Amino acid sequence: MTRACPQCGTRFPDSVFFCGHDGTITIEEQDPEHFDPRLGDQLGEYVLVAHVADGAMGRVYEARHKQSKRRMAVKVLHANVAKDKVAVERFAREYTTAKELDHPHVVDVIDHGPTEDGSRYLTMEYLDGEELSLALDRDAPFALARLLRITCQVAGALAHAHSFGVVHRDLKPDNVFLCRSDEGDVVKLLDFGSVKLQLDTGPKLTALGTTLGSPYYMSPEQAMGKTDVDQRTDVFALGAIVHEMATGDVAFEGSGIAQILTNIVQKDPAPIGTVRAELAGPFEQVVLRALAKDKTARFSTTTEFAAALLTAVGLDGDVDKWAETPVASIERALETARPAALEPATGPGASIATDDADVVDAPPPIHATSLPPAVPRPSYALPKSVWFWGLALVAAGIVVGLVLALGH
């Protein structure tokens, strides 16, 4: 792929962002069969210089600030989506919500506005890396040190959002971006378009073409169509992600949305210990509590969950510290850590021993890099246009089924 100077026409490799003759921002050269008229356009103060990716809601571009030349990412709504009032409101909410959240592990959103052709754009920091979903496809199950660092960073970002009364509601590997760093993954939490403001009295952004969670990571209360979701819904989703990082497989499988959601409501998650024997016991017990069907039995906060995971493997529960600790240092700490002993109670609401005086006959240290063979992850997706009615019908079916079951 090459870039060209729009002023003098000189062509450059893709790694050259400015013309060597006059300093003009270079633009990605296009395939005539897939011509994008937006490339080279200026939206606000930002020049669109390259196509990055496409999603159901819009297209993402690499951009440069006209004056500072800062590299940015710009998301532009697809034309058909821009005609949907609810989708536009959700897009605006993504901007206003993320703009308030000043946290190192939440994507930095800069600007938002209309395009000349009636669409909308959102400008954010440019991220170099990949979604957690891609890393899971390639690397899962994760080494424990990597899992803990990612979990602590996500937990901290969510806790920050929760402190503003914001519940993400659509936490999934696609919305956890992993930036490259010599110290290990650096998380950036994405997509606050599905958020619920716990004190919000405005319109509910639920309509055709929008999503309120992805099936593998939805909490039981979401799966049943309940509206009283709170931050413990995000605790559940993070628990499902931790389970997947640990095992390489989803916590609740199913051949379709209906079966997945039914399993979330009625079935136990797939055991972690059968895949990672060294994580059976306290670690698995913590994850089970995060995945409790009854939200009152879960951890109250994401940082409480992350701290319990750290304690379960023999580390102190300082979530902020371990979030910024290099993976290599976490690995060394795990080599000498003594995991907590399993509590007598093993149900979803069981607690984990955190006081060294209470730890008796603790299991041997967990090796941070010991991993079973990688396992393929399931793939299940439907067009966004069928999500709302599909989930509504499925949720109604689950509720009816549970009522009938309880009646007998």
Smallest Cα–Cα separation from 168: which of 95, 87, 237, 91?
A: 237
What counts of helices (H) and strands (E) characterise the chain?
Answer: 12, 14
Residue with token string 């529960």: 317
Q: Of 41, 170, 191, 249, which one is the catalytic site residue?
A: 170
Residue with token string 């308030």: 100
Cβ–Cβ under 8 Å, residues 213 and 203: no
What's the rounded Cα separation, in Å, for the pair 194 and 56? 14
Is there a cis peptide before residue 141, judged by omega within 30 degrees of 0? yes
What's the rounded Cα separation, in Å, for the pair 147 and 242? 7
Smallest Cα–Cα separation from 310: which of 343, 289, 347, 338?
A: 338
Q: What angle do CA 321, 244, 333 make, to 5 degrees?
A: 30
- DSSP 3-state assignment of 29? coil
For residue 233, how far is the Cα from the chain centroid? 13
**Residue 308 to residues 159, 243, 252, Cα–Cα distance (Å):** 15, 14, 22
170 is known as an active-site residue: yes
Q: How many CA atoms lie within 13 A of 282 on its CB side?
A: 29
Q: How many Cβ atoms sit within 10 Å of the Cβ of residue 50?
A: 20
Contacts of 270 (CB under 8 A, 6+ apart): 243, 247, 249, 250, 251, 252, 253
**Residue 346 to residues 241, 283, 286, 356, 374, Cα–Cα distance (Å):** 21, 11, 9, 19, 28
Beta strands in 97-168 (DSSP E): 109-114, 120-125, 129-131, 166-167
Q: How many CA atoms lie within 13 A of 188 on its CB side?
A: 19
Q: Catalytic residue numbers?
A: 170
